[in-house]
Chain A
Amino acid sequence: MSFVWTLAEQHEGRLKAVSYELLGRGRALADKLDTKLASLLIGDGVSDEQLQTLVHHGADEVYAIQDPRLASFTCETYSNVLVHLIKTYRPSVILAAATSTGRTLMPHVAVRSHAGLTADCTELDIEPGTGHLLQTRPAIGGNIMATIKTPDHRPQMATVRPKSSRPLPADPTRAGRVIEVPLDLVLVDERVQARGYRGDAVDFVNLEEADVVIAGGRGMKKAEHFALLQGLAKALGGAVGATRDAVDRGWIGYPHQVGLSGKTISPRLYVGAGISGAIQHLAGIKTSETIVSINSDPDASLHQVADFGIVGDLFQVLNELQRRLDERRRGGEEDRA
């Protein structure tokens, strides 16, 4: 069996994008260690065709443990399955996504496997000479980067911040094996029962998986103005985020909150409108690939960490930006027509 494992994630039978990001990370580590890379999927209903795409993105082997009892994440059963696989195959490295699932499952498994675990890593490498996994992560609200290793325990486990790296391009000619592993029923723990998802949830947003996040702060002045951000998010193919301040004022729901008491995101593009850039908010966005700040205050902290900042009236800027994006879109439609 392979010595580097990544955990694929699925939702309702569809593989999540983060599964491929992890394979890119795992491939680099496996190559440095001159070992094989396996992707593990615990879930239900993922087709063979989809499992093959894990091979195309870097896996040498795919182990799929699929059963209706694994369709929804419950920590106890997933943990039993993973602990059992670790005991059987003794991998050296296991990477999971720093998602709600990964950040619940991995600490549970690490305790039971007496393994070292590092949370929410943004860089991974192999220590020359020893072959130990070097795990680098932001800590203390992103003020420091700590590099951590696990010298004496195996497996070396890490959760990896979603969107902090790109997947490898798909190579349909890559060879690899897909192995279906039946679920051993003694591993099923029925104490916790998943009942599905709340159907009436309004104002929910999947910020963690958005490539573009348009966020608003106190400078947005009122709830109605968040419609401007919704418009831009739609034009740019993204989602709307908010500061704690905006959420506490009731302008937008908590699932939109980014920062220390909200979500940590790492989109390709983050745009902050009317956001001063409190340290607590910056902690949640610092690893974004590109940061844009729009604020009338030239001294706003967000301007300091931005790749591109506009000092000006945010309503004027947002409206002009929307107008230009709409123009571009119409231009594109005419080109195609």
Chain B
Amino acid sequence: MHIIVPIKQVPETSNVKMDPVTGTMIRAGVGTVVNPLDLFAIETAVRLKEAHGGRITTLTMGPRGADKALREAMAMGCDDGVLISDRAFAGSDSWATSYTLSQAIRKLGDFDLIVAGERATDGDTGQVGPGIAAWLDLPLATYVAAITRVEPARGLTVERLVEEGYQVVDLPFPALITVVKEVAAPRLPTLRGKKRAKAAEIPLFTAADLDLEPSYLGLKGSPTKVVKVATPKVTRGGTLVRALDEDAVADAVDQLLAFLDARDLLPTGGRA
């Protein structure tokens, strides 16, 4: 099996600091990591390879330094990494990103399965996975929580975590799935994996290396434009009640019930 795992390098969100004046993210000094939700996709691919053989190619679009994310994925068990980087790609929205990634995937040749994370923790759209499936006309299953059947060269059965339960879906290869956390707990990279990843050659695809429609690229090729960025107010100016002994607890619960009642949030019928 040839499995492709598109990943994204994102800021470490636990350290996100916002500039209170401009309302933009302060990127200086903020570390980058592999999008945490992509780790589940990497793990899924590695397990499929362990069970059925084959190879895994991970790819990312980003600045030149994004090879760091690819090397982390390779340390977990991906065989090859490809970096897609060019100033022409800067400012891409999910439409333009999914186009560029699709053209890079075409260049990689035949594959059986693309496994992607559900969404990235910075942009938070979840639109690139389904977008790639649309560009490449691949059968698609999103929110995959389990893979229950794999028949190499034929297809797979997955369970999608949706609002009503786990939807069971059959797909033929080649296909694209996006996975959620429940699918598999990511392994830690091994020392051997790290060494191999550090030494690996990572091919670079620039705009010139791909068959691209120039008007589909980057900020200019993105249908959506950001008009304004604002920082929402963090606090709601709420009430904080201390309830450090039994009487105070009863009193605090009284106040809470009155508060909920005033907002019409208690079941109708009874009155305390």
Q: Which residues of A approach B to under 8 Å, CB–CB?
A: 11, 72-76, 79, 99-101, 103-112, 114-120, 134, 138-153, 191-198, 201, 204, 206, 208-209, 212, 235-237, 254-255, 257, 260-262, 268-269, 278-280, 286, 290-292, 298, 303-313, 316-317, 320-321, 324-325, 327-333, 335-336
Contacts and interface: CB of A to CB of B under 8 A. Distances in A.
Given A104-B140, A143-B25, A197-B166, A332 B269 contact: yes
A321 B14 contact: no
Interface string B157-171: 101111111111111
Contact of B134 (A74, A108, A144, A198): A108
B133 interface: yes
Nearest to B256: A308
A195 B155 CA distance: 14
Contact of B249 (A104, A198, A262, A312): A312
Nearest to A307: B238
Contact of B122 (A117, A140, A327): A140
A97 to B, nearest CB: 10
A192 B139 contact: yes
A192 B244 contact: no
Given A76-B139, A138-B232, A235-B267, A143 B16 contact: yes
Given A79-B134, A144-B23, A308-B256, A201 B166 contact: yes
B164 to A, nearest CB: 5
B257 interface: yes
Given A120-B124, A147-B227, A298-B242, A290 B271 contact: no
Most buried by A among B141, B163, B244, B265: B163
Contacts of A148: 224-227
Contacts of B130: 75, 103-105, 107-108, 111
B145 interface: yes
A147 B123 CA distance: 13
B163 A107 contact: no
Interface string B95-136: 100110000000000000000000001111111111101110
28 contacts: A74-B169, A101-B162, A104-B142, A105-B130, A108-B140, A109-B134, A117-B224, A119-B127, A144-B23, A144-B24, A145-B229, A148-B224, A148-B225, A149-B225, A212-B265, A260-B121, A262-B181, A290-B260, A298-B242, A305-B234, A307-B259, A312-B242, A312-B249, A317-B243, A317-B252, A324-B272, A331-B271, A331-B272
Contacts of B241: 308-311
Contact of B244 (A101, A110, A146, A312): A312
Nearest to B14: A279
Given A303-B240, A329-B270, A198 B229 contact: no
Nearest to A83: B134
Contacts of B37: 260-261
Interface of B: 11, 13-14, 16, 18, 23-25, 36-37, 93-95, 98-99, 121-131, 133-135, 139-143, 145, 157, 159-172, 180-182, 222-232, 234-236, 238-244, 246, 248-250, 252-257, 259-260, 263, 265-272
A306 B256 CA distance: 12
Contact of B121 (A115, A141, A269, A328): A141
Most buried by A among B94, B162, B223, B230: B223
A318 to B, nearest CB: 9
Contacts of A290: 260, 263, 265
A74 B133 CA distance: 13
